[in-house]
């Protein structure tokens, strides 16, 4: 009898990871490769990806690096095409992860900073997902995983542009799911809580980590690997009847309001 765990197997599939040069993106690229997928790591500076690609290749995983700036539409289609060319197969999974944070009071947020947040977290994610959806629709299968945030599910002080961009990404996920279901493309979102990456340093610098910790029922910040289970579920055949789902991975943070 085949093991029920085999439905999580990604052998034969290919994944594209945006914002793969650090944090959750870099960790997830390694994890998806170890689960069997060929992986394309995408970032603005490909030199920051070379070491990871070399490491994965030395472990006999199929991996490549492609240049992508999600705020520059002229880089998106070439990045996707280059990834498929280098991996030698169509891409089945998009881990739509590139994002930036901005913590500031609503009345003090500058036009430039607000634009950067929406251009990256919403417009950038939108355009990368659109590219993915066009290709995946042609092949009649695919899984798009948008990386939202618990900030998109509940209000948090000083997070107006970031939270609004992630709330919009969640709404976009649901509309994409509706439109793409009949094309064989599933679209879901992860809503991580506070995960220990470079982004978390923004909270540390402002001395607000302790306050946040008090609102996490499990009383610890997450690690990038805490997202692995939900990512594998959405990426693999294990999630084949799931589309439009938004999965919090946050130690219960979204449940807690004081």
Which stretches of the chain bind ligand NAI, using CB under 6 A? 18-19, 21-25, 43-44, 68-71, 97-100, 120, 124, 147, 149, 192, 194-195, 197-200
Q: CA nearest 226: which of 68, 31, 4, 22?
A: 31
Nearer to ligand NAI by C-beta: 143 or 253? Answer: 253
Nearer to ligand NAI by C-beta: 158 or 200? Answer: 200
At closest approach, how far in Å is the CB of 257 from ligand NAI?
Answer: 18
The residue from 102, 111, 162, 241 that is catalytic is 162
- Which structure tokens are listed for 227? 């997202």
Buried b (16+ CB within 10 A) or exposed e, 74-94: ebbeebbebbbebbeeebbbb
CB 194 within 8 A of CB 203: yes
Q: Cα–Cα distances in Å, from 205 out to 4, 151, 180, 196, 202?
A: 45, 19, 41, 13, 5
Nearer to ligand NAI by C-beta: 11 or 194? Answer: 194
Question: 209: helix, coil or strand?
Answer: helix
- The verdict on whether 241 is a catalytic residue reads no
State the Cα–Cα distance between residues 240 and 153, nearest whole angstrom.
Answer: 24
At closest approach, how far in Å is the CB of 179 from ligand NAI?
Answer: 22
At closest approach, how far in Å is the CB of 81 from ligand NAI?
Answer: 17
What is the separation of C-alpha 98 from the centre of its chain, rounded to a whole number of angstroms?
A: 7
Nearer to ligand NAI by C-beta: 116 or 183? Answer: 116
At closest approach, how far in Å is the CB of 100 from ligand NAI?
Answer: 5
Residues that are catalytic: 162
């Amino acid at each position: 009898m085949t093991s029920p765990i085999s439905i999580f197997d990604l052998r034969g599939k290919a994944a594209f990871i945006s914002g793969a040069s650090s944090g959750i993106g870099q960790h997830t690229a390694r994890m998806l490769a170890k689960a069997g997928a060929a992986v394309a790591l995408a970032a603005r500076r490909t030199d920051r990806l070379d070491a990871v690609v070399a490491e994965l290749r030395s472990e006999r995983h199929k991996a490549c690096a492609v240049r992508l700036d999600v705020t520059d539409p002229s880089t998106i289609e070439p990045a996707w095409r280059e990834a498929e060319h280098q991996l030698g197969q169509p891409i089945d999974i998009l881990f739509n992860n590139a994002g930036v944070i901005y913590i500031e009071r609503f009345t003090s947020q500058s036009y430039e900073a607000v634009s950067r947040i929406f251009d990256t977290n919403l417009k950038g994610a939108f355009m990368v997902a659109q590219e993915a959806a066009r290709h995946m629709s042609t092949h009649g299968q695919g899984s798009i995983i948008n990386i939202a945030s618990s900030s998109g599910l509940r209000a948090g002080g000083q997070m107006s542009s970031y939270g609004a961009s992630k709330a919009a990404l969640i709404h976009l996920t649901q509309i994409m799911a509706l439109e793409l279901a009949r094309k064989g493309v599933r679209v879901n979102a992860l809503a991580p809580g506070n995960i220990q990456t470079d982004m978390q340093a923004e909270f540390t610098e402002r001395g607000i980590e302790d306050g946040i910790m008090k609102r996490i029922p499990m009383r610890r910040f997450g690690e990038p690997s805490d997202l692995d289970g939900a990512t594998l579920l959405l990426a693999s055949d294990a999630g084949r009847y799931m589309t439009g789902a938004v999965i919090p991975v946050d130690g219960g943070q979204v449940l807690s309001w004081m």
